[in-house]
Amino acid sequence: MHYKRGVPSDINEKFINRRVDAAFISSINARNFQNVGLGIIAKKEVLSVLVIPNTTPADDSESATSNVLCNLLNIQGEVLIGDKALKYVLAGNDYIDLAKVWNERYKLPFVFALLCFHKDKHRYKQIQNKFLRQKVKIPQYILTQASKRTGVDKKDILTYLAYISYDLNKKAESGLRKFYSLV
């Protein structure tokens, strides 16, 4: 396997155009593809998908699902995702966490992305099963690299990751179905 990184919009484009065989793609795009029971899921709040209130409404070009979610929730302001959103939160600025608003409104987690694939379902099912059986441990060298790359302290990265779930369980599936029913 080869590992590729990028913002959600780039990953979506590579997957949809079959330049990668499998990827975590935005939920809004994942609807039309096969997936396994792995996702990027906010149980309640997420800290990395937010709206800056009292600003001119603006989509985040790196996102697909978050922009749609903002519109569905009828929240006005600038959408921020990823590292820049987390830094904004950690700086103590005012923000609206989209996953938190979703959870308050529907009492369901929000699924931002799903592990989708084009072929070899058995391979990705094995990856899913192995991943969900083990506790996620992040080596210090990876945390250090991520901290240097993003400018976010290692302890803040670990705190942020505690808000994320990867298991597309029944409750997360209900949240995903609710999202699809509204778009």
What local confidence, expressed as pLDDT, does residue 2 receive?
Answer: 63
Domain that holds residue 54: 8-182
Q: Looking up tokens 């029944």, which residue turns up?
A: 170
d(CA 130, CA 55): 44
The angle at the Cα of 108, spanning 93 to 31, to the nearest 5 degrees, equals 100
Crossing angle of helices 140-150 and 82-90, rounded to 10°: 80
Domain assignment present for residue 143? The answer is yes
Domain assignment present for residue 157? The answer is yes
Q: Which residues, other chains included, contact 79 with Cβ-Cβ below 8 Å and sequence gap of 6+?
A: 49, 50, 51, 58, 59, 60, 63, 66, 67, 70, 98
What local confidence, expressed as pLDDT, does residue 7 receive?
Answer: 82
Q: What is the DSSP letter of 53?
A: T
Domain assignment present for residue 146? The answer is yes
SS3 92: coil
Walk along the chain (183 residues) and give the pLDDT tens digit of each residue: 567 777 888 888 999 999 999 999 999 999 999 999 999 999 999 999 999 998 999 998 888 899 999 999 999 999 999 899 999 999 999 999 999 999 999 999 999 999 999 999 999 999 899 989 988 788 898 889 989 988 899 999 999 999 999 999 999 999 999 999 999
Domain assignment present for residue 123? The answer is yes
Domain assignment present for residue 2? The answer is no
Q: How many domains does the chain have?
A: 1
Domain assignment present for residue 3? The answer is no
Domain assignment present for residue 55? The answer is yes
> Which token pair is 55?
């600003």
Domain assignment present for residue 163? The answer is yes
> Which token pair is 90?
């950690």
Which residues on neighbouring strands pair with residue 116, listed in sequence order?
23, 35
d(CA 160, CA 127): 24
Domain with residue 48: its CATH number is 3.40.190
